[in-house]
Amino acid sequence: MTRRELLTLGLGAAAAVPLTPVPWKLLDDSSKWTQNWNWIPRPPRGEPSVKYSSCTLCSAGCGIAARCVGTSVIGIAPVADHPVSKGVLCPLAFGAHQLPFHPARLTCPLRHGRPARIEEVTAEIAGRVKAGRFAIVDERPGRAVSEAYQRIAAANGGAYIAPVAGNGLPLEDVRTIVSLGAPVLESWGTPGRVLELWGSGRLAVVQVEESLSKTGALAAKSLIVRQGSGSKISELLAGRVGISAASEATGVAQEKLADVVQFVKERGAMISVAGEQPQIAILDGEIDTLLIDHGPLGGSLSRGALRRGGVIVSLSPYRAGVAAAADYAIPTPAFGEALEEAPTPWDAMSPSYALAPPLRGAPAGLTTPCDFIAKVTVSGETQESAIERRVERLHAAKRGVVFAFRDRTVKAMSEFKTAADLRKAFDAGACWTDREAKETPAEFRGARSGRKAIDVPLLAMLRGNENDS
């Protein structure tokens, strides 16, 4: 065989191989091998079932139906006709059942970044709380547990610190929402409520931001402005500055600004919301021990003003954000691993309440933030006792209705004979609402007849480090 013939044969064979089953068979076998190694976790085999709960990743408290096999959650779907979430979930909620397996998950207590025994750190923190001034930071206010924190702080000479709660947004009473960087069509406020109004054309969005987002791409009007100049658009729409001044500050052409002003004017009532994340101010420089309840997503609080030698105790499922730099990090249950609460969303105009029953068992060695704080403060308060108080008060008031997730039926509160019956309904998946208690905040009264610009902080999601989310 000559050299030319050898090269011809080799090139011909190389060209023909992709047309044979050989490479595709190898690819198929490789995919099977890499998906079936013995160390890869697999959901158990068994009869599928559905558990009902509420999402607690943000304040919206959307209803969820979790598809389970045994104790494993393999999928999450929204609850149709839910009175608060309207059968909608944000993207994060659809994958929430994977959060317990995040690589940043805390599996044991940490003291200055090193593993420690829970008995030791509990004793050390209890000693500091008894000897010096302490504060409880609640990043999820409005729960029954929040009331327990306030009682614990008051009874032991401590302080209770929480972000300012929202007064509700009358989105049904306005025609346009001007968003200063808030992801109003993604995961902001109560997603189902916003998307229902937007999808039906009752609410238009004017998005003002420094770079185009998904909300901006879907908005009726989108303005790309210079860094830090977004508030000028609110001032323009409220009539506090002129078009030329707003154009000079934002870098947006005057013709485009005039078009937006005309669009908002023709539609009628308007509100403006901001996308900044809320900051919790720690003003007391004499605090010796700061106990922080971060919630299922971990925390976002800065170190704040502690006295010299003071310590931060982070109660979080993950070693991220504050927990990664805290003096003590106490592992708490992740999403779906323990009983949680879904109180009234910050943007809601009427009160609601739901429980989030656990969807799976929690690993050994974890404690709920409330139970840990009660232990180190030697208080009789517990998460369970706080929730029982809230349920008893709801039952005694005999107001509102309860929506059951499983069969989507609605019962008046008067139909529950005892508080225990009401608690059973909550544990099976239910949401209480009281539409008759709707009260429009003073700053929004008369919004139907004119334009109104109110800057509202973004409280829908408290995240840690973006790289850890």
Two tokens, residue 21:
């089953």
What is the per-residue pLDDT for 165?
60
The span from the CA of 454 to the CA of 469, in Å, is 30
The lowest-confidence range among 183-192, 276-285, 444-453 is 444-453
Q: Domains (ranges, CATH) in the chain?
A: 48-101 (2.20.25.90), 175-268 (3.40.228.10)
**Scanning the structure block, which residue is given the tokens 């860094």?**
227
The span from the CA of 151 to the CA of 450, in Å, is 43
Can you give the pTM of this predicted structure?
Answer: 0.81
Q: What is the 3-state secondary structure (H, E, C) of 124-152?
A: HHHHHHHHCCEEEEECCCCCHHHHHHHHH
Composition of the chain by helix, strand, coil, percent to 5: 35, 20, 45
Q: Residue 430 pLDDT more than 80?
A: yes
What is the per-residue pLDDT for 465?
32
DSSP letters of 309-356? T-EEEEEESBSSTHHHHSSEEEE---TTSS-EEE---TT-SS-EEEEE
Burial of 401 (0-12, 13-18, 19+ CB in 10 A): middle
163 residue type, one letter? P
Residue partners of 282: CB distance under 8 A and separation at least 6: 135, 137, 161, 290, 304, 305, 306
> What is the overall mean pLDDT for the chain?
84
- Find which of 76-85, 130-139, 237-246 is predicted with most confidence, using mean pLDDT: 76-85
The lowest-confidence range among 115-124, 244-253, 291-300 is 291-300
% of the chain at pLDDT higher than 90:
50
Phi, psi of 162 (to 5 degrees): -150, 155
Burial of 316 (0-12, 13-18, 19+ CB in 10 A): buried
DSSP annotation of 59 reads: T
Residue 63 confidence class, pLDDT cut points 50, 70, 90: very high
What is the per-residue pLDDT for 202?
93
Q: Residue 249 pLDDT more than 70?
A: yes
The span from the CA of 277 to the CA of 457, in Å, is 6
- Tens-place pLDDT, residues 192-238: 999 999 999 999 999 999 999 999 999 999 999 999 888 888 889 88
More confident residue, 290 or 284: 290
Q: Residue 439 pLDDT more than 80?
A: no
What is the per-residue pLDDT for 450?
34
Q: Residue 375 pLDDT more than 70?
A: yes
The span from the CA of 161 to the CA of 284, in Å, is 10
CA geometry: angle 193, 195, 198, nearest 5 deg: 110
CA geometry: angle 45, 46, 48, nearest 5 deg: 120
For residues 341-351, average pLDDT = 90
User: Do 191 and 165 form a contact (C-beta atoms < 8 A)?
Assistant: no
Residue burial 185-217, b: 16+ Cβ < 10 Å; e: rest: bbbbbbbbbbbbbbeeeebbbbbbbeeebebbe
What is the per-residue pLDDT for 279?
52
Strand duo 430-433 + 352-356: pairing: antiparallel
The span from the CA of 138 to the CA of 158, in Å, is 13
For residues 160-166, average pLDDT = 74
**Scanning the structure block, which residue is given the tokens 């969303």?**
345
For residues 20-44, average pLDDT = 80
